[in-house]
Amino acid sequence: MKALVLEQKDELSLRDFPAIDHAEQTLGPRDVRIKLHTVGICGSDVHYYTHGRIGPFVVEAPMILGHEASGTVIEVGDEVATLAVGDRVCMEPGIPDPNSRATRLGMYNVDPAVRFWATPPVHGILRPTCVHPEAFTFRLPDTVSFAEAAMVEPLAVGVHAATKARVKPGDVGVVLGAGPIGLVTALSALAAGCARVYVTDIAEPKLEIAAALSPAIVPVRAEGDALVSRVHADTDGWGADVVFEATGSPGAAAGVFAPLAPGGCVVMIGGQPEPISYDAGAAMVREARVENIFRYAHAFPRCVAMLGSGAIDVKPLITRTFGFDESVEAFEIAASAPPSDVKMQIELPQ
Ligand SMILES: [Zn+2]
């Protein structure tokens, strides 16, 4: 079975990977075997490819990439009760220790023992099949395509961010960054009740995609104080109720309180590899609430439900699809960060 393997930094190959076939020969009683259909290319996959590490996670041995996935159940363990062969599903990539303190406290995403696909030393799922726990595998409504289902993983981040922000109907939101995470966050903030969401980025094509998502999305080019003056002009100088930081850029994060209204909330989403500084004085005079998120916890069922009902449409975010045999080329293109692409996906042969 061929897999997309990150051999080491800057070196990918599509090749057989007998170790994973061997490890997944048998199925646990509460596991399912899944034939992969669509896998999204995530910024983290690309970062491992171009840098060989993310913070403390270092690629020290060949690792299969990919963690945003959908597929079809082809085998079920003896005790599996909620899924059957033939079910179309998406999978949550992080499996916590069910007995850990974090899990028992309801925040399994911060369990230090979580095993997350394509995070060294755990292999990802750019391969024909995988074995996964029933509890982290979610059946899809007929109306949700495999491509949309592979967007549930990034969407879960946006839904978790909007949940942590405690968005109320009629709130004014701001999202810094129009990459995949910024845009799913804007969609989630609208689904949570925002009256409108200002989205800012330096890439004009991404802002065009953002603007086309909803009449309630206001694109603003990230240039000087354009965002702050626009938000202030539209809110009688009051500011936005919620600001989501989805760039991971220290410069953007430094100004995160500037567009925020008194009593508002900032949600830090973008990963910051180094310590950064922000304007604590600006936070203080607003009595700002600051939330941080790390992935998500039990957001997949909500995401699947919203895609199923049409409350959220992620299709416009999928800008390119590659065949599995074009995987290496797909990653090279993703690594060049084309300004007009949001999410690229890879389809496995069926
Ligand atoms: Zn991802």
For residue range 296-308, list pLDDT tens digits in order. Answer: 999 999 999 999 9
Give distance in angstroms: CA of 160 to centre of ligand 1: 14
C-alpha separations of 109 from 100, 102, 152, 178, 230 in Å: 11, 8, 16, 24, 36
Q: Tell me if the pTM is above 0.85.
A: yes
Ion ligand 1: residues, CB within 5 A, are: 42, 68
Quick check: 324 pLDDT over 90? yes
| Bridge partners of residue 138, in order along the sequence | 90
> Cα(150)–Cα(91) distance, rounded to whole angstroms?
8
Provide the CATH topology of domain 158-292.
Rossmann fold (3.40.50)
For residue range 153-174, list pLDDT tens digits in order. Answer: 999 999 999 999 999 999 999 9
Phi, psi of 26 (to 5 degrees): -100, 155
Query: Which residue from 44, 133, 127, 54 is spatially nearest to 92, judged by alpha carbons?
Result: 133
The length of the chain in residues reads: 350
Quick check: 268 pLDDT over 90? yes
Give distance in angstroms: CA of 162 to centre of ligand 1: 17
Quick check: 14 pLDDT over 90? yes
Give distance in angstroms: CA of 153 to centre of ligand 1: 6
Contact 32, 83 (CB under 8 A): yes
> Cα(107)–Cα(100) distance, rounded to whole angstroms?
10
Q: Which CATH architecture has domain 2-151+314-347?
A: Alpha-Beta Complex (3.90)
For residue range 203-218, list pLDDT tens digits in order. Answer: 999 999 999 999 999 9
C-alpha separations of 7 from 14, 60, 115, 330, 348 in Å: 10, 9, 20, 16, 20
Give distance in angstroms: CA of 159 to centre of ligand 1: 14
Domain with CATH 3.90.180.10 in the chain: 2-151+314-347
Domain with CATH 3.40.50.720 in the chain: 158-292
Give distance in angstroms: CA of 225 to centre of ligand 1: 30
Give distance in angstroms: CA of 184 to centre of ligand 1: 12
- Residue 56, pLDDT score: 87
Give distance in angstroms: CA of 68 to centre of ligand 1: 6
Give distance in angstroms: CA of 194 to centre of ligand 1: 24
